[in-house]
Amino acid sequence: MNQSIIFSDNEYYNDQLQQVEFQAQCQGHLIRCIISWEALKKLSEQSNTLIKANQQLALMLFDSARFDIEDLAEALINQQTFNEYGEILITP
């Protein structure tokens, strides 16, 4: 794990966009990181496509796959794979 990237524990579920948003700090800069509901289900091995997104389930799945999600986000940050808003997007 790269100690120059620190992930905070302030994740929240954006119901409108069906994604979990969290922050990383790298060299003093805050980076908004986003994982889509579909990517979250895939990472947490929830293959049932009928599962509907909701805050409680999304945050529970995020927590269960936190280390994998942070590893993915860290790799994307190191590769400087930012979108046009300076965010990291994790999608399936």
3 pLDDT more than 80:
no
Which pLDDT value is given to residue 52?
77
The 10 Å CB-count burial string (b at 16+, else e) for 1-19 is eeeebebeeebebeeeeeb
At residue 9's C-alpha, the angle toward residues 77 and 75, to 5°, is: 15
Domain ranges (residues) in the chain: 14-83
pTM greater than 0.85 (yes/no):
yes
Which pLDDT value is given to residue 2?
46
